[in-house]
């Protein structure tokens, strides 16, 4: 089991990694839909812009909570 732990990459921040994975997965689905002819290139740009905005919001709030928690921890130590 220890060997398996060394082989598997553990992300430093699972929440942000899951957000990136989600956006990448949805992006891959839309690329496949584009190549199959289900959606147009305009649809890809619109969906890409929306996914990028969602990722930015997700990271912003996640980092805000992480930094806020770190600031509160520093206040408690002083």
Q: What is the pLDDT of residue 50?
A: 84
| Rounded average pLDDT over 18-43 | 75
Residue 52: count other Cβ atoms within 10 Å of its Cβ.
12
**73 and 52 Cβ atoms separated by less than 8 Å:** no
Domain limits, the chain: 16-77
Residue 37 to residue 14: CA distance in whole angstroms: 34
| Rounded average pLDDT over 4-10 | 57
Residue 19 to residue 41: CA distance in whole angstroms: 24
Output the six-digit token pair for 73: 């921890």
With 80 as the cut, is the pLDDT of residue 65 above it? Answer: no
- Provide, rounded to the nearest whole percent, the portion of the chain with pLDDT above 70: 62
Average pLDDT of the chain, as a whole number: 72
Q: What is the pLDDT of residue 26?
A: 76
pTM above 0.75, yes or no: no
């Amino acid at each position: 089991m220890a060997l398996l732990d060394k082989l598997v990459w553990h992300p430093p921040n699972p929440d942000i990694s899951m957000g990136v994975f989600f956006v990448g997965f949805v992006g891959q689905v839309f690329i496949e839909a584009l190549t199959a002819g289900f959606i147009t290139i305009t649809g890809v740009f619109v969906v890409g812009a929306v996914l990028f905005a969602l990722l930015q919001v997700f990271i912003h709030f996640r980092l805000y909570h992480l930094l806020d928690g770190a600031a509160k921890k520093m206040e408690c130590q002083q």
